[in-house]
Structure formats: C-alpha cells, structure tokens
Amino acid sequence: MGKDPKNEKKASLWGGRFKEGSSDITRRISASIRYDRRLYRHDIAGSTAHAEMLHRMGILTGDELTAIKGGLGEIQGEIENGTFDFSMALEDIHMNIESRLTEKIGEAGKKLHTARSRNDQVALDMRLYLRDEIREIKGLLKGLIALLAGLAEKNMDVVLPGYTHMQVAQPVRFSQHMLAYCWMLLRDAERLKAAEEACLSLPLGVGALAGVNYRNDREYLRERLGFSRTIPNSMDAVSDRDFILDFLYFASVLGAHLSRFCEEIVLWSSSEFAFIRLADNVTTGSSIMPQKRNPDLAELIRGKSGRLYGNLIALLTVMKGLPMTYNRDMQEDKEPLFDSIDTVKLSLEGMSEMLGTVALNRERMRKSLYSNFSTATDLADYLARKGVPFRDSHEIIGRIVRYCEEEKVEFFRLDIGTLRSFSVHFGDDAVDVLSPEGSTERKESSGSTATGEIKKQFSMVAERLSSLT
C-alpha cells in the first residue's frame, strides 16, 4: 500500500523547537505507520467531525471546511487504491494524513489540528476502530453459536459418554455437550458487549491533557460520531486504555473456550475415539505418512489461545506503571489489539468452517457408552430411592464394579440374581437401570441432559441470541 522508505527527509509536524532532525534509530523506534495505517478510515472520520466542529465554533470558514472535507475524501481514496505515499518520517497515520492534506489544500490543512492533540486524536481513533471491529466479531460469534445450536438440535437422539478426569462418567446427549459450548460463547458475547460499551465514551475535545484554549462543542462531536457519553475528565480521556484491556480480556477467555472445544475435536477425531469425522477440506495430510488426516484447524486455533493471553499480559504490563497522562509507551497498545482482533476473527471463521463439516459416528459413540461403568451412578440412585442411604448404596455399587472387573463380567448384562447377591433391595426393574440409553431421561433436575430440559435450553439460547445486538 504505497511506499514505506526507511530514511525519508520529510519534515515532522512538531519540529519547530529542534535544531536537528531525528536520528535513524529514533525514527525507526518512533514510527508506527507500518501497523497503525489500518486506522485511516477512523482517523479521517474523526478529523471530518473535528473540522465540522471548528466551523461551528467560527474557527474555520465555510470554504476551509469544504476544502478540508474534500481533501480528506481524496486521501481516503488514495489509501484505498494503493497510491498513498506513507512516510516513516511522519511516524503515524495521523501525521501522514495531515501532511498530505496540507500538500493538497494548502493553509486550510494546517488549521485542522487547532484545538486538538494527537493524544485525544488517537484515543478517538482507537475507540472508533475497535467499535467497528467488535460489530464484525459479534456477527461471527453469533453465527458460531447458531451453528452449534443447530448441530445440537439436529442430533437430539445421539447419546455419548460424558467424562470427568477424562474417564467415562455418565451418559449425556450430544446436544447437551454442544449446548454447553453455546452457553460458554454466550458469556463471551456478554463480555464483548461490555467491551463495546467501554468504547462508547468520547475522548475528543480535551487536547493533550488539560483541555484546549478554545470554545468547543464536545456534545456535537459525541452525537456526530455516535458516542453515548463524553469522558468528563481530560486527563483520564487521553490516558485511558481500559476499553482495549476489556476487549483483550474478552479475547483471552474466548480463546480459552475455543481451545477447550478444539481439544475435544482433536480427541474425538482420533482413531482411538472416532466419534466424529472432519471433511477433507478442513484437515491436512502428512509429508511422509500417506494415511494421515490431521485436524490442523483445531490444533492451530487451540494454539492461538496463547497469543491472545500474551497480548492481554503485554498491555497490562505496559500500563501498570505509567504516570498520568499520555506516555509514548502507550503506542504499544496497537499491535496487541490488532493481533487479537485478527486472531479472534480468524479463529471464529475457522471454527464455523470446521464444525460445519462434522459427521458423527453414532455407532462408535454408542459402543463407548458400554466401555466403562457409565450407569453406575444410576444404579446407586436406584438403591437410594429404595431407602438405602446414598453412602451405603455408593459402597454397594463400588463392590459390584470391582466384582465385574475381577471376574471379567460385563456390567451392563448383570442379571437380577447377581444384583440381589449384593443387596436385597434390587427389584426386577433394576436391570433396566443398567441401560445407558435410558440414563439421560432419568435426569429430572433443571438444566439436565434429559430431552425436555434440552428443549428448554434451545428456547433459552435462541432468546439470548436474538437479544445480542
């Protein structure tokens, strides 16, 4: 996107008090244009609103306002068609645009920065940018939740083992498993909403830190740029980066949830589990082993959680010791944010693509229900219903399990005579409790894996999804 030479001779826009220009290393460390150029649309939007406000205050004439708005529009076109000449010497997107504006329209361009500092300018741009990105991410997140809910509803009849400590624990419906991730992601959506809300406080109009020596109209700027409120303290306005931390925290927790899900996809698609099969277009092969079908998307998304955590810690560390107000350290807020935004979007798109191809191996899931003592708890609860104290029933079923292991007897085919040898409280109906398929429907508590409770969850998830705006 245009040129980016390392040793430009363009004059900076702040060099009046300096006899000498910046050294090469100073320019290279100071320059952020290689990554903050993605803020160009938001910088131009903020500058346009600021120019309109200056005109309302009588600082700019009508002709000057027209020239500024026209020049900014042309600059946006240049950036988008790849002809804009980015300068490292001008450090950042703000000064690159302002310098080019002055080249194009002359003296009126030099007036644009009246009653404004780069401190409140960048704080504005970052909020505008993040606000737009959050809206896109929200759509991707809602799409993934809807896909999972659809997958769950389509496979209501599928039962598989539920695990604790990676050991078969109790039978659960596949739908219940998918809905668990829906609820995780809905909590992520709430965190994202909180991050979006944090972006809606306007910093523009406070100058460098103390306010500006002109009458201005921050209320006009608030309405014009779509903010909910203005930040009441000028020092806080230019030094606040909590809104970025809020987003990075959202991204980190989302990364944890996606990583957990991907771990199960990796396990479930292995030959040892074989619960699911992913399509060819979301798996990869091996350079040496012809038989391999690797779940690389799941592994890569799982791995990306680490960089999301790192970005949060990086900015927390930058901010933790800064005195009021703006410090150049805060330039380090952009790359972690930009990287997390890109990573989140890529991961959500990858999850939806991958899960859209999942084929369930229902028979393998069913067989796995019989691989361990998945209805042992049901049998213990059976005795408890017959009046046996639960701790005693727990002991009895434990002895039955040990008997099956030692005698190589299949738990799920125990006859009533064998059961009664452990407790006289077993009735003829006890053998029905051994069946894993019926276990899920014996769950009577709210939020359980029983069909009726799962159907209630579908309605709740749909309601929550529709309320995400």
Alpha helix (H) residue ranges in 31-90:
33-36, 40-56, 62-81
In the 3-class helix/strand/coil scheme, how is 396-450 assigned residue by residue? HHHHHHHHHHHHCCCHHHCCHHHHHCCCCCCCCCHHHHCCHHHHHHHCCCCCCCC
Query: Is-catalytic flag, 165?
Result: yes
Q: What are phi and psi of 233, to 5 degrees?
A: -115, 125
Whether residue 397 contacts residue 380, with contact meaning beta carbons closer than 8 Å, is answered with yes
| Token pair recorded at residue 142 | 């809602």
Asked if 113 is an active-site residue, the reply is no
Q: Identify the helix (H) or strand (E) that includes residue 98.
A: helix 93-105
Which of 165, 271, 287, 371 is labelled catalytic? 165
**With the CA atoms of 311, 314, 316 and 322 taken in that order, what torsion angle do they form, in degrees rounded to the nearest 10?**
-140
Strands 229-230 and 201-202: parallel
- Active-site annotation holder among 228, 270, 286, 421: 286
Q: How far is CA 460 from each of CA 33, 141, 166, 454, 457, rounded to the nearest angstrom?
A: 46, 17, 29, 10, 5
- Distance in angstroms (rounded) separating the CA atoms of residues 380 and 181: 29
* Nearest residue to 359 via CA among 250, 461, 268: 268
Query: How far, in Å, CA of 217 to CA of 58, rounded?
Result: 12
CB 370 within 8 A of CB 412: yes
Active site positions, annotated: 165, 286
